[in-house]
Structure 1
Amino acid sequence: MLIKSEFVDLSTPTGVMRTYVHRPQAEGQYPVILLYSEIFQQTGPIERAARLIAGHGYAVLVPEVFHELNPIGTVLAYDDAGRDKGNADKAAKDVSGYDSDNRAMLDWAKQQPWSAKRFGAMGFCIGGHLAFRAALQPEIEATACFYATDLHSQVIPNQPGQHSMDRIGEIKGEMLMVWGKQDPHIPPAGRAKVYQDMATANLEFTWHEFNGVHAFMRDEGDRYDAALALQGYQLALELFGRKLRTIR
């Protein structure tokens, strides 16, 4: 399936948010996936991930997650400076800003002729957390979270009762949670806490822990594990196909 890539600048309460759109060239209506990047925004690996999903018959939206804090089009490098800047942005943006970002994308996508008005979410690292956050929106029917950071901690600024795990009961769709056992950013105790909270909330979810390091899906650098990445994409595509292409 051939893909076209473009972008749209969406208005949000916290400023203009550039959002990259990857979707099939063929005419038709496609389920929409909100895909959230790591702290580095839409790097090459993130764009390739989005195009991979789009190539299976989805319209994929990739927002600049820290649009309030950077010039439009900013992409941070996978180096110490990029990591430090991205982590500083993560610590500066209030979690409520992601909610309004999600609403802007969902409302815009509903108006597009290529949209089937069926929605899922997916993300990596902080993007895994932001995909989890997107699942709070009632339209999100399926969510794939890859090594989601800070669900077990309080790094992302939030008001009392607004942490993503505090609002877990609002999630209605099915969740796919994928982790690396050798990931130092989400230690065993952190993963156990997230699992217990999701189970207590009686969410519909599957849980996968691979022998992988942090960012094993990123097809650039020494952390990339191609075999595990393939399994991860297969799990996500199975979920999206089962939940977003069925008759409600």
Structure 2
Amino acid sequence: MKIKEEVVLVPTPTVPMRTVIYRPQEEGEYPAILLYSEIFQLSGPILRSAQMMAGHGFVVACPEVYYDNLEAGTVLAYDDEGKEVGNNLKWDTPIESFDKGAQSLISFLQKQTYCTGKIGTMGFCLGGHLAFRAALEDEVEACAIFYGTDIHSGTLGTGKNCDTFERIGELKGEAMMVWGRQDPHVPKEGRQRIYNQMCDKEVLFSWHEFNAVHAFMRDEGDRYNPQLAHQCYGMAVDLFNRRLKI
């Protein structure tokens, strides 16, 4: 399926949130996926992930996660300087900024003539956490979470004291949780804590652990595992087809 790209400025309570949208060229209505990036914002690997998902018949909207902090269009480099800036912003950005961004984007998409109104979320690293948190919104019916950081520890946002873990029971849709066993950012104890909480709260989810390092889905650098990435994208497509195209 051929796709097209557009860049929109989504209104939020503070400043417009620059968002890149990919969707099928063929006219019609399609379910939407909010796809959240790593701390580096909308890098090449993130946009290629979005393009691939859009090619399966979805509207894929990629918001700039630091829209309140950085100039629109800013992409941080995959280097030590970019990592430092991205991590500092992860801890300096109020949780309300992330939440209001998600709510604004959901509202925007549900008003578009090309969207069915069905919403899913997907994300990597920081974006995995943000996709999980966005999935706590009532409108979201499915989420695909790839090695979401800081869920187990609550260390996201100003003061490193977010309540995502405590709110796991609010998840109403289906979650697909994907982890790398050799990922130091979410160690075994952290993964077990999340798994136990999801079981205790009786949410609907699947759980997948692979022998892989952090960022194994990113198609740049020596962490990339193409075979596992292909498998995981297939699982995400299956999830969203089943939950959003009914």
The question of whether the paired residues in 1 share the 8 Å contact of 2:154 and 2:164 is answered with no
Find the aligned partners of 2:162 and 2:86 in 1 and give their Cα distance.
Answer: 22
Q: Normalising by structure 2, what TM-score?
A: 0.97
SS in 2 for 1:163: coil
The question of whether the paired residues in 2 share the 8 Å contact of 1:96 and 1:158 is answered with no
| Corresponding position of 1:52 | 52
Cα displacement (A) at 1:159: 8.1
The question of whether the paired residues in 2 share the 8 Å contact of 1:4 and 1:24 is answered with yes
Q: Does 2:5 correspond to 1:5?
A: yes
Give the letter aligned to residue 36 of structure 1.
Answer: Y
Find the aligned partners of 1:68 and 1:108 in 2 and give their Cα distance.
Answer: 18
Find the aligned partners of 1:169 and 1:160 in 2 and give their Cα distance.
Answer: 21
SS in 1 for 2:42: coil
Find the aligned partners of 1:18 and 1:208 in 2 and give their Cα distance.
Answer: 32
Deviations 1:46-70 (A, max 9, x none): 0000000000000000000011110
| Corresponding position of 1:14 | 14
| Corresponding position of 2:84 | 84
Identity over aligned pairs, percent: 51
> Number of residue pairs matched?
246
The question of whether the paired residues in 1 share the 8 Å contact of 2:142 and 2:173 is answered with yes
| Corresponding position of 2:192 | 192
Structural mapping, 1:174-193, within 5 Å: 174-193=174-193
SS in 2 for 1:19: strand
| Corresponding position of 1:96 | 96
Please say which of residues 2-11 and 218-227 is displaced more in the overlay: 2-11
Cα displacement (A) at 1:191: 0.3
| Corresponding position of 2:229 | 229
Cα displacement (A) at 1:158: 5.9
Deviations 1:224-248 (A, max 9, x none): 00000001101101100111111xx
| Corresponding position of 2:209 | 209
Deviations 1:164-191 (A, max 9, x none): 1121221100000000000011000000
SS in 2 for 1:42: coil
Q: Does 2:163 correspond to 1:155?
A: no
Alpha-carbon spacing, 1:228–1:100, altered in 2? closer, same or farther (3 Å): same
Cα displacement (A) at 1:119: 0.5
SS in 1 for 2:243: helix
The question of whether the paired residues in 2 share the 8 Å contact of 1:19 and 1:61 is answered with yes
Give the letter aligned to residue 96 of structure 1.
Answer: E
Give the letter aligned to residue 172 of structure 1.
Answer: K
Please report the RMSD computed on the Cα atoms of aligned residues, expressed in angstroms.
1.3
Deviations 1:107-152 (A, max 9, x none): 1111111001101000000100001001111110010000000001
Deviations 1:71-107 (A, max 9, x none): 0100000000000000000001111211111111111
Give the letter aligned to residue 9 of structure 2.
Answer: D
Find the aligned partners of 1:130 and 1:214 in 2 and give their Cα distance.
Answer: 17
The question of whether the paired residues in 1 share the 8 Å contact of 2:91 and 2:158 is answered with no
Cα displacement (A) at 1:157: 2.8
The question of whether the paired residues in 2 share the 8 Å contact of 1:161 and 1:167 is answered with no
| Corresponding position of 1:114 | 114
The question of whether the paired residues in 1 share the 8 Å contact of 2:91 and 2:160 is answered with no
SS in 2 for 1:12: coil
| Corresponding position of 1:40 | 40
Find the aligned partners of 1:215 and 1:161 in 2 and give their Cα distance.
Answer: 24
Cα displacement (A) at 1:162: 5.2
The runs of 5 or more residues in structure 2 that have no matched partner are none
Find the aligned partners of 2:84 and 2:15 in 1 and give their Cα distance.
Answer: 23
Find the aligned partners of 1:219 and 1:43 in 2 and give their Cα distance.
Answer: 11
| Corresponding position of 1:61 | 61
